[in-house]
C-alpha cells in the first residue's frame, strides 16, 4: 500500500514535470538578430548605429556600435520588450505630454519595458537600467560595445528571436550644452535630468534573413554542353549523307 | 537544287537535301553553343562551419570566451573592443568590382518575403541591397545580392564565383562617399544548408559586406540553382 502510493507520487511528479521540460525545450530559441539604430523621433540626436544580438538558448551575445552621441557622458542602453507593446520605435504621436520630445515612458507603448541592461560590467538585469556608472560614456560620441553570455528568460530569448525586442540607447543633450542638465527631471529617476534618460537612438532587433537567395534563372547553366553535342551529331550525320550524295553523283558521271 | 535533278536519281537528291538541312541545323547549334557564355565560375563548395580566419577583434584576454552551455550563468564583462573603421549610414547607389568586371549602377532595395527569405532583384541587370540591414560601411554585415544569370545569359554577378581573396570592392553611397572593402573569402554553400548566422550574423566589430549570387547545379524542376555563392569582405576605409 505504501509502496503503491510512493510510485503513484513519483508518477504524478514526473507527469507534472513533463510540461515544464517540454516548454524548456520548445523555448530554447537560437538565432541571429540585428537592429539598425536610428535617431528617435522628436529628440533630434544626430546619431546612428547597429546592434547585433545572437541568441543561444537562454544566453545572448551583444555587440553594438554607435556614433554621434553626446560624448563623455553615460548612455544607458537596454533591450526593451513588452508582450503588449507594438515592438517598434516610438513615433511623434507617442508624445503624450505634447512637450515636443519623447521621454522613456512615452516610448513604452512602442517598445515595452527594459528586459536587459547593456551595462559594461556586473548585473545586466532590468534592476541596472539606470546604473549610470556602468554604462558606456561614448568617448568621441562613439560606443563600441561587446558583451557575451548575458542570461535572459526563455520568454525574452523567444521575443528577441521573434523580432519583437527593441534596442534603445538613451541620453539626449536637448539644449546642446555638452552635458545632461535642465529643470525637467527624469521620468525614471527624479535625481537625474530627463536629458540623461530620454531615448536617443532606437532599432528593432529583427531576425536575420532565413537561408540564401534565389539569384539565377539558369540561362548560363551547363545546357550549352548538350547543345554542342546535338549540333556535333547533326554535323556528323551530314557528313554521312553528304558522302552518299557524292558517291551517287560520281557513279552517274 | 536545280543542278541536283540533273543526276536523275531521287535518292541522291533527297540525300543532298538532307545533307544541307543537317549542315544548317548542326552548324547552327554548334555556333549557338560556342557563342553562348561558359557556365559561371564556381568557388569550391564550403562546409557550413565557422570561418577559419576569425576576424580580428579585441585581445584574447578581454574577449568573452564563455561558450553557451559551458558552465554557470555569469555574464562576462563587456570588453573594450577596438572596432575597425565604421562609416555613417548612407544607402548604396552603385558597385564596382574591377577584378571581375562588375560596374553596376542603380542598386535596388531588397526586402524579406513572408517566409523571411531575402528576395532577389526582379531586374536581372540590377544588384539589390538588403535595406533593413546596415548600409555598406556601417557596423554589421551589409548584404548585396544579384543574379548570376537570366534565362538568356549572364547577369550582374555572373563572375562572382571567380572573385578572389584580396580583391577590392567599392560601394558608392548616396552621400557621395565610397565604402572600400577587401574580399576575405568566397565560398559556395548549399541553399538547403545555408549558414545563416555566418552570413547575416554578428561581424564582431567590423563593418562587413556580403555579396551573394547563385551557384552549383541548376535544378530545372524548381527553376533555381541549388547553391549560393557568398563573398565575404570587410571595410578598409
- The CATH number assigned to the domain holding A49 equals 2.60.40.200
pLDDT digits (tens, 9 = 90+) for B36-85: 556 788 887 765 444 444 343 333 333 333 344 434 445 566 655 678 99
Averaged pLDDT for residues A164-192: 96
Task: Tell me the chain A residues in contact with residue B12 when contact means C-beta distances shorter than 8 Å.
Answer: 244-245, 248-249, 252
Is B146–A120 a contact, with Cβ atoms under 8 angstroms apart? no
Q: Which residues of B touch A228 (CB under 8 A)?
A: 29-30, 33-34
Q: For chains A and B, what is the number of CB pairs under 8 angstroms?
A: 274
- Does the residue A3 lie in any domain? no
pLDDT, residue B18, reads: 73
Higher pLDDT, A229 or A75: A75
Per-residue pLDDT tens digits for A211-222? 999 999 999 986
A71 belongs to a structural domain: yes
Residue A190 lies in domain: 26-207
Enumerate the residues of chain A whose CB falls inside 8 A of the CB of residue B127: none
Q: How does pLDDT run across B105-151, given as a tens digit for each residue?
A: 999 999 999 999 999 999 999 999 999 999 999 999 999 999 999 99
Q: What does the pLDDT read at residue B20?
A: 76
Subunit contact A221:B39, Cβ cutoff 8 A: yes
* Structure-block grid coordinates of residue B127: 544588384
| CB B38, CB A236: distance < 8 Å | no
pLDDT at site A164: 97
Q: Name the residue of chain A whose CA is nearest to B154's CA.
A: A220
A35 occurs within a structural domain: yes
Count of domains for chain A: 1
Q: Please state the ipTM of this predicted complex.
A: 0.76
d(CA A142, CA A72): 9
| CB-nearest partner of A216 from B12, B18, B149 | B149
In this complex, do A65 and B25 lie within 8 Å of one another by their Cβ atoms? no
Q: Is residue A39 part of a domain?
A: yes
Residue B195 has pLDDT above 90, yes or no: yes
User: What pLDDT is attached to residue B71?
Assistant: 41
Q: Is residue A156 classed as helix, strand or coil in its secondary structure?
A: helix
**A22: pLDDT strictly greater than 60:** no
**Is A61 among the domain residues?**
yes
**Which chain B residues are closer than 8 Å to A244 by Cβ?**
12, 15
Work out the burial of residue B101: count CB atoms within 10 Å of its CB; fewer than 13 is exposed, 13-18 middle, 19 or more buried.
exposed
Asked if residue A19 is part of any domain, the answer here is no
pLDDT for A195 beyond 80 = yes
CB of A34 within 8 A of CB of A208?
A: yes
Amino acid at each position: 500500500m505504501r509502496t503503491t502510493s510512493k510510485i503513484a507520487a513519483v508518477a504524478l511528479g514526473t507527469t507534472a514535470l513533463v510540461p515544464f521540460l517540454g516548454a524548456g525545450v520548445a523555448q530554447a530559441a537560437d538565432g541571429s538578430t540585428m537592429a539598425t539604430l536610428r535617431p528617435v523621433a522628436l529628440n533630434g540626436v544626430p546619431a546612428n548605429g547597429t546592434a547585433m544580438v545572437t541568441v543561444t538558448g537562454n544566453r545572448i551575445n551583444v555587440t553594438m556600435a554607435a556614433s554621434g552621441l553626446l560624448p563623455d557622458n553615460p548612455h544607458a542602453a537596454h533591450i526593451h520588450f513588452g508582450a503588449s507593446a507594438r515592438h517598434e520605435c516610438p513615433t511623434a504621436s507617442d508624445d503624450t505630454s505634447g512637450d515636443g520630445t519623447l521621454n522613456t515612458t512615452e516610448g513604452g507603448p512602442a517598445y515595452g519595458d527594459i528586459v536587459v541592461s547593456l551595462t559594461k560590467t556586473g548585473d545586466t538585469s532590468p534592476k541596472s537600467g539606470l546604473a549610470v556608472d556602468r554604462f558606456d560614456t561614448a568617448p568621441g560620441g562613439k560606443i563600441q560595445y561587446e558583451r557575451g553570455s548575458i542570461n535572459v528568460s526563455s520568454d525574452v530569448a523567444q521575443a528577441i528571436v521573434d523580432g519583437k525586442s527593441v534596442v534603445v540607447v538613451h541620453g539626449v543633450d536637448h539644449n546642446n550644452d555638452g552635458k545632461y542638465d535642465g529643470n525637467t527631471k527624469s521620468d525614471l529617476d527624479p535625481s537625474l535630468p530627463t536629458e540623461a534618460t530620454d531615448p536617443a537612438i532606437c532599432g528593432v532587433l529583427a531576425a536575420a534573413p532565413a537561408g540564401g537567395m534565389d539569384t539565377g534563372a539558369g540561362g548560363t547553366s551547363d545546357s550549352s554542353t548538350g547543345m554542342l553535342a546535338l549540333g556535333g551529331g547533326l554535323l556528323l550525320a551530314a557528313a554521312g549523307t553528304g558522302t552518299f550524295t557524292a558517291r551517287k553523283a560520281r557513279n552517274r558521271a | 537544287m536545280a543542278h541536283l535533278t540533273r543526276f536523275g536519281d531521287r535518292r541522291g537528291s533527297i540525300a543532298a537535301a538532307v545533307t544541307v538541312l543537317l549542315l544548317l541545323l548542326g552548324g547552327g547549334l554548334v555556333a549557338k553553343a560556342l557563342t553562348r557564355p561558359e557556365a559561371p565560375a564556381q568557388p569550391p563548395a564550403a562546409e557550413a562551419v565557422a570561418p577559419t580566419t576569425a576576424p580580428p577583434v579585441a585581445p584574447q584576454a578581454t574577449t568573452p570566451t564563455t561558450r553557451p552551455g559551458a558552465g554557470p550563468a555569469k555574464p562576462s564583462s563587456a570588453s573594450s573592443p577596438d572596432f575597425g573603421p565604421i562609416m555613417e549610414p548612407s544607402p548604396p547607389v552603385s558597385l564596382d568590382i574591377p577584378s571581375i568586371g562588375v560596374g553596376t549602377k542603380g542598386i535596388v532595395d531588397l526586402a524579406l518575403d513572408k517566409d523571411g527569405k531575402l528576395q532577389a532583384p526582379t531586374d536581372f541587370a540590377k544588384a539589390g541591397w538588403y535595406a533593413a540591414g546596415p548600409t555598406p560601411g556601417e557596423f554589421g554585415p551589409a548584404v548585396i545580392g544579384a543574379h548570376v544569370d537570366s534565362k538568356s545569359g549572364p547577369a550582374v554577378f555572373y563572375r562572382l564565383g571567380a572573385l578572389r581573396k584580396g580583391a577590392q570592392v567599392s560601394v558608392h553611397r548616396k552621400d557621395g562617399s565610397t565604402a572600400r572593402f577587401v574580399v576575405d573569402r568566397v565560398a559556395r554553400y548549399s541553399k538547403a544548408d545555408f549558414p545563416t548566422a555566418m552570413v547575416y550574423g554578428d561581424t564582431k566589430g567590423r563593418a562587413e559586406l556580403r555579396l551573394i549570387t547563385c551557384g552549383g547545379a541548376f535544378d530545372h524542376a524548381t527553376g533555381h540553382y541549388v547553391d549560393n555563392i557568398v563573398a565575404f569582405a570587410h571595410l578598409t576605409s
